Structure 1
């Protein structure tokens, strides 16, 4: 914990920003504040850990579409594909207990998965998005919202021979592949595993799969998304036919009838278990999880992952474009890096649709979580926002290491077990 001072001294926060931050991160705070200039721009939160110590924990803006409810210390956002990093971390915790080997066939643990020529696909290949199982293959909305149906579907599916062995982003199926594996190993679904394997040992309430229980301190922010219900009959006719093509790429891995409706209104998407996309997380909880990884696997003196496990999580950079999204992401054991441009964001983690992110750089001990509730809004560069914030964070973190820095208090609710309906 190089440079940590035991006292707590917060920077003067920009107008409208709540929370606390070490003074070295003033530039980062100004950049964060500029992302939320008014009620129509929603809200968000940013948390930063350095060598296992929280140095920034701030939030701002509004958690509802009308701009009447302020973001709070326990507001979480649906973080879309950031959820994949959460599900992957669960699997690494199970691997640490000797329950699986990355180079063993998935079917060794989940026999049903071996159907239709998949008996030799390994856990490592699946976590690298190389299993050739990215397409939804015509599933309905009702099927997609039933996690056990989807686990069965991916177990019975045939591989796409054009994608098998190549990195091809599994936009939604990755989550059910992880939950199916986790269930085979433990008998528990991914919603329960995220609470037991992540939230509880990290002592934070801010990690959930789907909508947090009414008894939980964490509250999911409303998504700012187009709320219009006007149908487009041409799109509705063409879309399923295009998605059914083996060469439909990202569209085939994401499209299902009613995909717009599930993020409107009260967000029906949150009432399912979609471990690739519908996690609800606070920035603090993401930063804490990745902060443990960046700190050699421990946090607050507690072992979260073994040092040996953490050492395996940094992959070799690859500049080959992903076959579904056509940009290099260098997936390794469930997390991606950003190899292009070199040096922009060292480390690894997972970004989500619209730009929420959880990130760790074990080489420098730096980790951060950034979440917000915008989707398809006037802030058209949201998807790349985390990269710009990352550059500011790295610069301020370098200053903090040089000058010394202060930790900030934990302002969110700790983990508490709340009753849940029996998992299906």
Structure 2
């Protein structure tokens, strides 16, 4: 077993302090008991979760089987669906969409009824906010539970994860506040001719409030979500407000490629299906080359992870989680210091150090 932790700080921080945590380990580790209240006595070491497998199979089904009210042309459960930009923002009222009764289902219904931004399957673009509501509706229909409860009962509790989608009240005093660091140079404020040529298309999109790049993140009204708000932390925004540690990220990914305390989350066959490439090429939202499976990011030149078989996902501010079945290793990096711009090399340098240690 490989296990190491770097730059680890206590999870409770004063508002002005910065917190960084990185964890790397192979499948197997000590269980975190915070979710054990969700487990029956015989569940701790049970085989792959049948409900979790059913949700993933449903996620891969054509839309009419998965959710009969989805437009026939949008029958894809990946980033080719063209449903990353809700047509109507006003009803969502910021984080209230997750707090108010029926909020998430209202968004899912709106997305199901609208015309896709492109013909599904002909292009792809990162569904940065809407992904959680789209997949969350599949979870509700298959399991009868909200995404946060499903995650707690079927993933976090069996594996012992210090991670939540919908933060319990008793965990609030452990949370670090977000610290925002603006880039040294705001490229949106400099003359277009002064922007490096390879970045001009992206910068032009950032300047345009109607671009896919802006609208994909501004899907609520108001567009900004206060992730330091207790109400937002307690809400279930599955694409945006997961709260946890880097070690929990690494444990979760480890449980996808092998057993952690006797628990493996997915069968090898389901994992192979879940990590199969579905989209590749220029991303219509990020405007850079990207690769996706049904939900996971796959290695690219700018995010190589550990190798060609790695799968995972980046997060706001540079956080990162992934697994590599070939090397039998999982990685998690989390921080509360949000660095704007394109020069944040923290996760990149940590991954490079892991890569060198495997050589």
Report the TM-score range of the alignment, normalised by the length of the smaller protein: 0.7 to 0.9
User: Which of these residues, 105, 113, 119, is aligned with residue 72 of structure 2?
Assistant: 119
After TM superposition, the score normalised by the length of structure 1 is 0.63
Aligned to 1:207: 163
Is the Cα–Cα contact under 8 Å of residues 294 and 364 in structure 1 kept in the other structure?
no
Equivalent runs, 1:188-207 vs 2, <5 Å: 188-204=145-161, 206-207=162-163
Is the Cα–Cα contact under 8 Å of residues 163 and 245 in structure 2 kept in the other structure?
yes
- Judged with a 3 Å threshold, the aligned counterparts in structure 2 of structure 1 residues 218 and 148 are, in CA distance, closer, same or farther, namely farther
Secondary structure of the structure 2 residue equivalent to 1:340: coil
Aligned to 2:186: none
Aligned to 1:69: none
Secondary structure of the structure 2 residue equivalent to 1:276: coil
User: How far apart, CA to CA, are the structure 2 residues paired with 1:290 and 1:93?
Assistant: 18
Is the Cα–Cα contact under 8 Å of residues 262 and 268 in structure 1 kept in the other structure?
no
Secondary structure of the structure 1 residue equivalent to 2:332: strand
Shift of 1:267: 5.8
Aligned to 2:226: 262
- Judged with a 3 Å threshold, the aligned counterparts in structure 2 of structure 1 residues 49 and 172 are, in CA distance, closer, same or farther, namely same
- Judged with a 3 Å threshold, the aligned counterparts in structure 2 of structure 1 residues 102 and 110 are, in CA distance, closer, same or farther, namely closer
After TM superposition, the score normalised by the length of structure 2 is 0.73
Give CA deviations for 1:126-158 in whole Å, capped at 9, x if unaligned. 22x011101032413516531232222222222
Aligned to 1:105: 62
User: Which of these residues, 263, 273, 290, is aligned with residue 312 of structure 1?
Assistant: 273
- Judged with a 3 Å threshold, the aligned counterparts in structure 2 of structure 1 residues 313 and 162 are, in CA distance, closer, same or farther, namely closer
Q: Unaligned stretches of 5+ in structure 1? A: 5-20, 56-72, 75-91, 228-238, 399-424
User: How far apart, CA to CA, are the structure 2 residues paired with 1:217 and 1:302?
Assistant: 28
Aligned pairs, number: 308
Root-mean-square deviation (Å) = 3.7
- Judged with a 3 Å threshold, the aligned counterparts in structure 2 of structure 1 residues 190 and 339 are, in CA distance, closer, same or farther, namely same
User: How far apart, CA to CA, are the structure 2 residues paired with 1:318 and 1:257?
Assistant: 30
Is the Cα–Cα contact under 8 Å of residues 225 and 374 in structure 1 kept in the other structure?
yes
User: How far apart, CA to CA, are the structure 2 residues paired with 1:340 and 1:186?
Assistant: 37
Q: Unaligned stretches of 5+ in structure 2? A: 34-48, 98-103, 183-204
Secondary structure of the structure 1 residue equivalent to 2:247: helix
User: Which of these residues, 340, 343, 348, is aligned with residue 381 of structure 1?
Assistant: 343
